[in-house]
Structure 1
Amino acid sequence: MSMVTTGYNQLLPELSGLLQVPRRSLSAQPFDGIAEGQAVAIGAVRFSLVVPTYNESHNIERIVALLSQQLDAVLPHDYEIIVVDDDSPDGTWRIAQALMSRYPFLRVMRRQAERGLSTAVIRGWQVSRGEVLGVIDGDLQHPPEVLQQLLAAITQGAALAVASRNADGGGVSTWSAMRRFLSRGAQLLGLVLLPDVVSRVSDPMSGYFLVRRSAIAGRSLHPLGYKILLEVLGRGEIEQIAEVGYVFQEREAGESKVTWKQYRDYIYHLLRLRVSLGRLGRVSQKLNFPFIRFARFAFVGLSGLVVDMGLLYLLHSTLGFGLTRSAIVAAELAIINNFVWNDRWTFGDLAQQQQKRHQVIKRFAKFNLICLMGLILKILILNLFFNALHFNPYLSNFLAIVMVTLWNFWINLKLSWRITQVK
């Protein structure tokens, strides 16, 4: 972990590794550099609110002031506001950092390696000290005054309190007909693909909610895109849920970050949750083996086989290159194909945490070496089954492929895509 210290302005450490909220705070310690006479909670606090930001320099000072005003009224000296900024080009993190001397319960994290709203929220929760965790957008589209109602719902026993545009008193301000249609369509799709999760709240796409730490602590989260609430609902131990209506406001400053990519990620997220929460996902958890990830790895392997055979035919039979040379080139291009798809899909959640060029090259070199070892292992296993045990040659080859695929997957999971550099 790295930490930047400049008097009052001490940045939180930038985290990497598993997206898992600890059962106890990782940072239950007093703030450094607070002026004498200021009361600061030591150890745990009641409430930690994460504000994920990117290019919100025009809004950050106002949102911090409004949130502090609301929370000072109900939780004096018993809360913290954590701004997690994705290294905004407009210097949002720097402005937030400068505010820390005025707001003793403000904490700031500058992320330079990772990107994405959902992971930013979880990273903020990982360094938080609160028994209750929350998230609110930094663009003033979520009204801070609703916080007090959400906190009241948690106090009354709810494990999750969601600010909803679809509950009583909720709505949107000036959305176009198309945006309303897309929002409702996305919710309907969620009800079809993941009814047991999406039907629990009226606004499953809300990005404004509070949750008890105990409801999600220790659970591996795999968010995608902006819809972190889906992960909390799907993977958390959520019993009682409360909803508070609010009117979604239009931006006063800055640019909207809603794109078609967000809708695509939402659909993919639904599908991924549907699989992981289904029967195969439950078996995978029970046996502690990542069957879903292995299925992706095997599917990518099949695509590599097609590339290998197709290129071999092209190079040897069509272009007339020698068989050995053609086989080597075809095999290496198939390995490159497999690496690209595994890096983006099979192990994409792990690869996103280490995206620097030298880290990608290192993964590729390891992948190549493991595939070469797998080829040698396949030949040894094939000879064992065929020559020593006298199995049918095709059965021997099939068993060798299955065993080597398992070998390649497990070793790559533990070596090629493991998180080796943690800040």
Structure 2
Amino acid sequence: MTPDLLELAVVIPTFNERGNVATLVARLDAALAGRNWEAIFVDDDSPDGTAQAVRELARLDKRVRVIQRIGRRGLSTACIEGMCATAAPFVAVIDGDMQHDETKLAEMLDALEADDTLEVVIGSRFCEGGCTGEWDSDRVAKSAFATRLSRRVLKADLTDPMSGFFMIRTGIVRQMVPTLSGIGFKILLDIMTASPQPLKFAEVPYVFRTRTEGESKLDHVVAMEYLIALYDRMFGKVVPVRFAMFSGIGALGAGIHFLILGVLFRMMALPFVAATIVATVVAMTFNFFLNNALTYRGQRLKGAKALWAGWVSFCIVCSVGAAANVGVAAFLHNVQHGDWRLSALAGIMVAAVWNFALSSRFTWGRY
């Protein structure tokens, strides 16, 4: 490699990692001594000022820069943006929480430069010499279960397909971008499953460190996003994952709808149409907040003002579906005098497609 040419970009997706920025760059400087590299922080508009901390450091070190994303969130999409923003022939992904071993980067780069057929080098906690550090037995068991699930979609026998620490040829990523789902936190799994042909890989063992600054991003939503990513790879071409999520939440909303309708109509003897209207509004509110938290997590509305405006927008754009819901249910109940639950279900089904199409475009799509 010519000394003056950029060799490697290190992409660091961040959210509330201000305290780790300077330390991580200093460690990269030591680990990649003698190599031409750049660090690209991709920050999801962290409220703790992570992006500003990177800017302050970048004034002193031209190898450092930041992409501050406004209105967009998600580790996988952050990695994709960062990997497409460099001219370096090789790009690495490493977490900003100091838990990945940056000293392995030089070994990864050497491996890719030495073998033109090698396409990706993966930091593994589970191959010989690797370790999960201070993980408790519960987390180890969950990781093992997730790994077994991933083998249903993988085209390679990786020991650590859940790894977020790897290095790849940049050109390969650019070619794959249109086929990447960008869902969840497992960008490596996304890349390995999106490739039309199995990628040639090597694994480098490392010991997973304990976080010293900031807070872990692992939660139940992250676990759910992993399952969503697997679903997308297995069935997404048949039923788009977002519609599947929206429909699943709609099914829960239907349960709420039936519960409220049953109480008001059967127990309190409220007229069927009035009971249906109340049940529809309650179910719609339930669906809005759950979709905001899950289906549209990357575009979710935050703050009382945005939530209120979003709820109003959601109700307005779904008004056609809600009117159809009430109208169809009332018609079937009054004309056919059938089971009230079947009448309600018919109304819900008519509204479902309208709700998804209109809310995707006008409630969350405009932000």
* Aligned twin of 1:247: 207
* Aligned twin of 2:9: 48
* Aligned twin of 1:301: 250
Whether contact under 8 Å (1:187, 1:204) holds in the other structure is no
Distance 1:212 1:247, change over 3 A: same
- Find the residue that maps to 2:252 and give its secondary structure: helix
Mapped to 2, the partners of 1:92 and 1:297 lie a distance apart of 33
Whether contact under 8 Å (1:50, 1:135) holds in the other structure is yes
Q: Does 1:411 align with 2:366?
A: no
Whether contact under 8 Å (1:161, 1:243) holds in the other structure is yes
* Aligned twin of 1:206: 163
Distance 1:313 1:164, change over 3 A: closer
AA of the residue aligned to 1:283: V
Distance 1:118 1:316, change over 3 A: same
Distance 1:165 1:328, change over 3 A: closer
Mapped to 2, the partners of 1:350 and 1:63 lie a distance apart of 26
Shift of 1:40: 8.8
Mapped to 2, the partners of 1:332 and 1:325 lie a distance apart of 11
Mapped to 1, the partners of 2:25 and 2:150 lie a distance apart of 36
Q: Deviations over 1:394-420 (max 9, x none)?
A: 9999888655433332233333332x2
* Aligned twin of 1:144: 102
Whether contact under 8 Å (2:12, 2:93) holds in the other structure is yes
Mapped to 1, the partners of 2:290 and 2:222 lie a distance apart of 20
Shift of 1:327: 3.6
* Aligned twin of 1:370: 317
Q: Larger deviation: 334-343 or 226-235? A: 226-235
Alignment of 1:65-80 (within 5 A): 65-71=26-32, 73-74=34-35, 76=36, 79-80=37-38
Alignment of 1:82-121 (within 5 A): 82-86=40-44, 91-111=49-69, 113=71, 117-121=75-79
Q: TM-score, normalised by structure 2?
A: 0.77
AA of the residue aligned to 2:358: I
Shift of 1:82: 1.0
Shift of 1:282: 3.6
* Aligned twin of 1:283: 238
Mapped to 1, the partners of 2:250 and 2:101 lie a distance apart of 49
* Aligned twin of 2:334: none
AA of the residue aligned to 2:299: A
* Aligned twin of 2:187: 228
- Find the residue that maps to 2:39 and give its secondary structure: strand
Distance 1:221 1:153, change over 3 A: farther
Distance 1:365 1:206, change over 3 A: same
* Aligned twin of 1:62: 23
Q: Deviations over 1:357-389 (max 9, x none)?
A: 444334323332233212445689999xxxxxx
Distance 1:248 1:369, change over 3 A: closer
* Aligned twin of 2:178: 218
Shift of 1:271: 2.5
Q: TM-score, normalised by structure 1?
A: 0.68
Mapped to 2, the partners of 1:328 and 1:232 lie a distance apart of 46
- Find the residue that maps to 2:34 and give its secondary structure: helix
Q: Deviations over 1:300-330 (max 9, x none)?
A: 3343333334323433553455555444322
Whether contact under 8 Å (1:300, 1:342) holds in the other structure is yes
Whether contact under 8 Å (2:254, 2:348) holds in the other structure is no
Mapped to 2, the partners of 1:47 and 1:190 lie a distance apart of 30
Shift of 1:274: 3.1
* Aligned twin of 1:334: 283
Whether contact under 8 Å (2:24, 2:98) holds in the other structure is yes
Shift of 1:118: 4.3
- Find the residue that maps to 2:66 and give its secondary structure: strand
Q: Does 1:271 align with 2:219?
A: no
- Find the residue that maps to 2:157 and give its secondary structure: coil
| Percent sequence identity over aligned pairs | 28
Alignment of 1:354-365 (within 5 A): 354-365=301-312
Whether contact under 8 Å (2:324, 2:350) holds in the other structure is no
- Find the residue that maps to 2:62 and give its secondary structure: coil
- Find the residue that maps to 1:217 and give its secondary structure: helix
Q: Larger deviation: 331-340 or 318-327? A: 318-327
Whether contact under 8 Å (2:318, 2:359) holds in the other structure is no
Shift of 1:189: 0.7
Shift of 1:109: 3.3
* Aligned twin of 2:146: 190
- Find the residue that maps to 2:59 and give its secondary structure: coil
Whether contact under 8 Å (2:7, 2:89) holds in the other structure is yes
Q: Does 1:154 align with 2:112?
A: yes
Shift of 1:88: 5.2
Mapped to 2, the partners of 1:379 and 1:171 lie a distance apart of 58
Q: Deviations over 1:76-131 (max 9, x none)?
A: 3xx42112345556644333222213321210234565555445434433544444
Aligned CA RMSD, in angstroms, stands at 3.9
Whether contact under 8 Å (1:57, 1:95) holds in the other structure is yes
Whether contact under 8 Å (2:164, 2:186) holds in the other structure is yes
Aligned length: 352
